[in-house]
Amino acid sequence: MTDAATKVTFELATPDRLWLSVEADMVVVPGREGDFGVLPGHAPLISSIRPGVIDVHQGDQISDRIFVADGFADVVNSRCTVLTGEAMHLSDVDRSAAEKRLKDAEQALAQAADDAKAHAESAVAVAEALVAALR
């Protein structure tokens, strides 16, 4: 428990690969009911995730800022596992590309048939969160 007690093992997995696996001091995850920080020894928790940014803290610094579209977080024994459908480094995202994505999503929503509406709405929510995160 020497190492496990001081660091959080953070893993981010997308369906096609293990996206990121690092030891961190703190991870801030955008939970469905508000952001929560995971420190070593956090109580076991399973939460769904809203579109937003995961901050990985190393000491006083934020080492990674990762945008996730959806997913789930599983915290147990100083491990934090996040499963998401889409992840990207915030630094890799271009502002204009994000705004274009929002515009496209809104257009798709306007044209969507009734049964596809829910899907289009969530796409807009994801794009909105992405644009907001870049601001």
Partner 1 sequence: MSGLKTLRIRINSVKSTQKITKAMKMVAASKLRKAEERAEAARPYAERMDAMLKEVANSMAGRGEGPKTLVGTGSDKTHLLVVTTSDRGLCGAFNAGIVRATKGRIGALQEDGKTVKLFCLGRKSLDALRRDHEDLIIDRETELDKGGFGFPKALDIAQRITNFFEEGAFDVCSILYNHFKSVISQEVRVHQLVPFAAPSEPETDGSKPAAEAIYEFEPDEAEILDELVPRNLAVQIYHSLLESLASEQAARMTAMDNATRNAGEMIDDLTLLYNRTRQAAITKELIEIVSGAEAL
First CA to last CA across the chain, in angstroms? 40
Stretch that binds partner 1, among 2-10, 58-66, 72-80, 100-108 (CB under 8 A): 72-80
What contacts 88, CB < 8 A, 6 or more positions away?
66, 67
Cβ burial of 79 (10 Å; 0-12, 13-18, 19+) is: middle
Q: Check residue 18 for interaction with partner 1 (CB under 8 A).
A: yes
Distance in Å, CB of 128 to partner 1, minimum: 19
Show the site string, 73-112: x = touches partner 1 by CB under 8 A, - = not. Answer: -x-xx---x-x-x---------------------------
Distance in Å, CB of 86 to partner 1, minimum: 9
Q: Check residue 31 for interaction with partner 1 (CB under 8 A).
A: yes
Positions touching partner 1 (CB under 8 A) are: 11, 13-18, 31-33, 36, 43-48, 72, 74, 76-77, 81, 83, 85, 115
